[in-house]
């Protein structure tokens, strides 16, 4: 993770420092893709990407999975600015029939886990055959451990991050690297 040659960036009123380089992210996604390909070799799972943050991760992950799979999207919201509101809002839902299907939830980041607990409860009502959770980032210091995360890209400290699909009030999603809030 050599980020010393990268500079601070600004998004709105905050500065962010380099944290994970695109090359490091790409390599880890390939490893997760290999594991998923092995786990679902004889199946056709449905990947459910949680918008907006996971769209970049979901696209890259799906491309490295060497298996038959489909993708759908849900939009859940629990953040405003740099913090969680504590309330999960469903904005876009699923149209697919999930009964008996193998489902892989693709999330950008799991911190407290409240959003995922909310979504898992709704998902289980639709009787999928199995549910696996894949997240690019996990904050173990705040994760409430109420469910199992099957594949984690990176465990990170409880600091706000942007880039690679993650944003600060709409900015930063287009960055190839992941940046962490700079606190001098």
Told to judge if 102 belongs to the known catalytic residues of this protein, a careful annotator would answer no
Domains, the chain: 23-36+44-78+86-158 (3.40.50.2020)
Please state the pTM of the whole predicted model: 0.88
Phi-psi region of 163 (alpha: psi -120 to 50; beta: other; left: phi over 0): left
Catalytic entry in 111, 141, 145, 150: 111
Neighbours of 38 (CB within 10 A): 10
Structure confidence at residue 3 (pLDDT): 45
Distance between CA 93 and CA 78 in Å, rounded?
15
Residue whose pair of structure tokens reads 């939830």 in the numeric block: 105
Geometric angle at alpha carbon 135, from 130 and 140, rounded to 5°: 110
Who's near 70: CB < 8 A, 6+ residues apart? 44, 45, 46, 47
Q: In the prediction, which pLDDT does 138 show?
A: 97
Q: Write down the pLDDT at residue 2.
A: 38
Residue 184: per-residue pLDDT: 77
| Segment 138-172, tens digit of pLDDT | 999 999 878 999 999 999 999 999 999 999 999 99
Helix (H, G, I), strand (E, B) or coil at 66: coil
Q: Contact 175/9 with Cβ under 8 angstroms?
A: yes
- Residue pair 36/62 in contact (Cβ under 8 Å)? The answer is no
Q: Which helix (H) or strand (E) holds 26?
A: helix 22-39
Beginning with the edge strand found earlier in the chain, give each strand of the sheet holding 83-92 in spatial order: 83-92, 70-80, 46-51, 102-110, 130-138, 151-155
Stretches where the chain sits below pLDDT 70 are: 1-6, 77-92
């Amino acid at each position: 993770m050599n980020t010393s040659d990268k500079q601070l960036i600004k998004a709105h009123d905050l500065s962010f420092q380099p944290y994970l380089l695109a090359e490091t992210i790409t390599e880890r996604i390939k490893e997760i893709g290999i594991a998923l390909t092995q786990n679902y070799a004889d199946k056709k799972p449905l990947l459910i990407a949680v918008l907006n943050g996971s769209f970049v991760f979901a696209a890259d992950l799906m491309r490295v999975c060497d298996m038959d799979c489909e993708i759908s999207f849900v939009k859940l919201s629990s953040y405003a600015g740099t913090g969680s509101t504590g309330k999960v809002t469903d904005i876009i839902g699923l149209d697919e029939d999930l009964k008996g299907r193998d489902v892989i939830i693709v999330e950008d980041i799991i911190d407290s886990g409240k959003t995922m607990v909310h979504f898992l409860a709704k998902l289980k009502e639709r009787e999928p055959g199995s549910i696996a959770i894949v997240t690019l980032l996990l904050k173990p210091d705040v994760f409430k451990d109420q469910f199992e995360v099957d594949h984690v890209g990176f465990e990170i400290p409880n600091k706000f991050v942007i880039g690679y699909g993650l944003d600060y009030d709409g900015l930063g999603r287009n960055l190839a690297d992941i940046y962490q809030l700079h606190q001098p």
